Amino acid sequence: MMAAGAALALALWLLLLPVGVGGAGPPPIQDGEFTFLLPAGRKQCFYQSAPANASLETEYQVIGGAGLDVDFTLESPQGVLLVSESRKADGVHTVEPTEAGDYKLCFDNSFSTISEKLVFFELIFDSLQDDEEVEGWAEAVEPEEMLDVKMEDIKESIEIMKTRLERSIQMLTLLRAFEARDRNLQEGNLERVNFWSAVNMAVLLLVAVLQVCTLKRFFQDKRPVPT
């Protein structure tokens, strides 16, 4: 009975937690992903707010366009250049601990004059504020007497489950990006194969017509002229 009562109190506290957090301070920063088309000869930048003393993981991948490469830079809120990469197809970078402010992510396709690029990137936050919130709910629901099920064990299990679910979502997102890049590459190869197959077929037909005309004219010239 005590374990069931503790579990019920925990469930009620978790249901009411978002309301309390929303009224006490700013909402936590959510992970995000974005896919955009980067025109040839252009540079596009994005700004992402980050809390202090957190972990920011940035992953990007070029999933479409000739060469499948792009220039990437990452700057801190103070304007310090943290990452600079040239002509890369993908990359993973982690900033820890973060500074409070807006981080600047730029994708540059100025080296390409013809081909536009389809770029996918994802931002993953791991804020220390989440750990403080988890510490708070254990104190809120734990009674004075000993419980059959320790709250520390429940907290550890929830944290492990949360971490594994977040990692699973991240891997599925990356797999979708890989699938999109491979599909675009295969479609491009199919278009090139179809084009050159049509050109080869046209050349073969032209050569066959020329051979027939040449042989026909040759035999006409060899035919004896009637007197």
Write out pLDDT tens, residues 96-141.
888 899 999 999 999 988 888 889 888 888 765 555 554 554 555 5
Give the span between the Cα atoms of 127 and 131, in whole angstroms.
8
pTM of this structure? 0.54
147 backbone dihedrals φ, ψ, rounded to 5°: -100, 150
Give the span between the Cα atoms of 125 and 128, in whole angstroms.
10
93 backbone dihedrals φ, ψ, rounded to 5°: -140, 140
Cβ neighbourhood burial of 142 (10 Å; 0-12, 13-18, 19+): middle
Q: What is the pLDDT of residue 29?
A: 65
At the top level of CATH, the class of 32-137 is: mainly beta
The tokens for 49 are 């707010």
Q: Is the pLDDT of residue 11 over 80?
A: no
Overall average pLDDT of the 42-51 stretch: 91
The tokens for 84 are 């600079």
- Higher-scoring residue by pLDDT: 144, 68: 68
pLDDT-derived band of residue 7, with 50, 70 and 90 as boundaries? very low
Q: What is the pLDDT of residue 8?
A: 42
| DSSP letter (8 states) at residue 144 | S
177 backbone dihedrals φ, ψ, rounded to 5°: -65, -45
- Closest to 123 (Cα-Cα) out of 57, 51, 50, 37: 57
